[in-house]
Amino acid sequence: MEIDITGINLIEFVKGVYRLSVPAGLGWLHFTEGELTYEEAKEILDIWKKDKQFTLDMDYIKGRACKMTVFRKGKNLYIRSPWYDHTDIQLEKLLKMVWPKDIPFPEIKAEEHGISCNCVLCQNKRGTKA
């Protein structure tokens, strides 16, 4: 599912993505505690300034598995749901942090488990539990 995020504050969005992400894999070697500063978030956005397709593509930032992409379709900006390595509840929390009050909030079916959840219940649903 695609979610139109046109009109949100992208600096706050980047900071929110970072805040809700945790170290994963070898990211523990690069993990830095604390929040992203305004300048750091702007620097991340500036990397994508001239790209025609993407506005943002965050993979690992300071060891945290952010896994967020913002892409363009015409003049609008979109993200995809589900948010990889995150739960639907985290996605809803992120969007509520940055959503403009004058734009209707998108309907998100918030579930506890995300696409990459590795709990026993989700493994059983996928048939990957040995």
Each residue of 17-57: pLDDT tens digit? Answer: 999 999 888 777 788 889 999 999 999 999 999 999 999 99
* pTM reported for the whole predicted model: 0.83
Neighbouring-strand partners of residue 93? none
Closest CA to 94 of 118, 70, 63: 70
Task: Please state whether 63 falls in left (phi above 0), alpha (psi between -120 and 50) or beta.
Answer: left
107-125 mean pLDDT: 68
pLDDT of residue 119: 67
Q: What is the mean pLDDT of residues 75-101?
A: 92
Q: Name the least confident of 29-33, 61-65, 102-106.
A: 29-33
Residue 129 in this model has a pLDDT that exceeds 60: no
